[in-house]
Amino acid sequence: MAERGMTPLVKQLPKVLGRSALGTVNLIVAGSAALGAAALQSWPILALGGAAYAALVAWDVATPKFWRETLSGKTEGQMKLPDPNKLQDPRMRDAVRAIRDAHQELQRALEGAPPGVRNHMGLALLSLTELEERAARLVARGEDLARYMRTVDLGAVREQIRFADEQARAARDAEARTQFENARTAREEQLAALVDIDAARERVLANLSRIAATMESLPAKVVRLRALDAQATESMYGDLNEELGRMNGEIGAFEETLKSFHEVRVT
């Protein structure tokens, strides 16, 4: 009887709880707390870690987006960097190649790292995974913008603005003059939109270049931490986590501004 009275969402609760409990971020938080508690022999740290883990699970369960992703089997982050050879924009191809090469170099640097370094790098690597997913989304958006910009001619639009202006000035009929002026205004709005789209494409490339440069700097930092090993301080790992976290936030904000350019159509 009780089962018949259950709503569809309640029936899906175990699935949602299971996904959250095994979520990468949540497990890293729990694991980091356990490692810290064991190293310092501190029960309070273990308790705080357990509370943080429980709070993260509760947050997931209370978030509609997490439910949608779990029940649909899809997540926004399930994007991989495309094959650079399949990209049309040459600058986009170069950026993707640089990011891929940097990822492989980082993997090589981590292979010989002591367990302590790899454990401390957990949060940084999680942020790096998120950063690569953002890069994949940026590439997809950038390709769309670049593909559209190849179909238009800014010079031709500027010439049409000049021509409409000349016609408006030469018109002797007031109504004709008004219509030529309206045509000029429409062309000016078209040009402004095209300039915005081209600027967005440039910002995509700039952010991809920043991601590539950051990833290319990581292997050297990992090798430095490997050399220090026991002497490496928590602040050194914290600085790296903070840097990657801040970049994720900034690029995430930029992604929001790109949503207005997500579907570009010729008007």
Is the separation of the CB atoms in 222 and 117 below 8 Å?
Answer: yes
- Residues of the domain holding 71: 1-75
Instruction: Mark whether 93 and 185 lie in a shared domain.
Output: yes
Instruction: Mark whether 172 and 141 lie in a shared domain.
Output: yes
> How far is residue 262's CA from residue 37's CA, in Å, rounded to a whole number?
46
* Residue 51 placed within a domain: yes
Instruction: Mark whether 67 and 188 lie in a shared domain.
Output: no
- One-character DSSP codes across 189-253: HHHHHHHHHHHHHHHHHHHHHHHHHHHHHHHHHHHHHHHHGGG--HHHHHHHHHHHHHHHHHHHH
Q: Tell me the whole-structure pTM to 2 decimals.
A: 0.63
74-95 pLDDT per residue, tens: 554 456 888 989 989 999 999 9
* Residue 267 placed within a domain: no
Kindly state the percentage of the chain with pLDDT values over 90.
22
* Residue 42 placed within a domain: yes
**Of the residues 49, 75, 101, which one is the last residue of a structural domain?**
75
What's the confidence (pLDDT) of residue 177?
Answer: 92
Tally of structural domains, the chain: 2
Instruction: Mark whether 16 and 97 lie in a shared domain.
Output: no
> Above 70 in pLDDT, residue 265?
no
224-262 pLDDT per residue, tens: 777 765 555 555 656 666 777 777 777 877 777 776 655
Instruction: Mark whether 223 and 131 lie in a shared domain.
Output: yes
What's the confidence (pLDDT) of residue 20?
Answer: 67
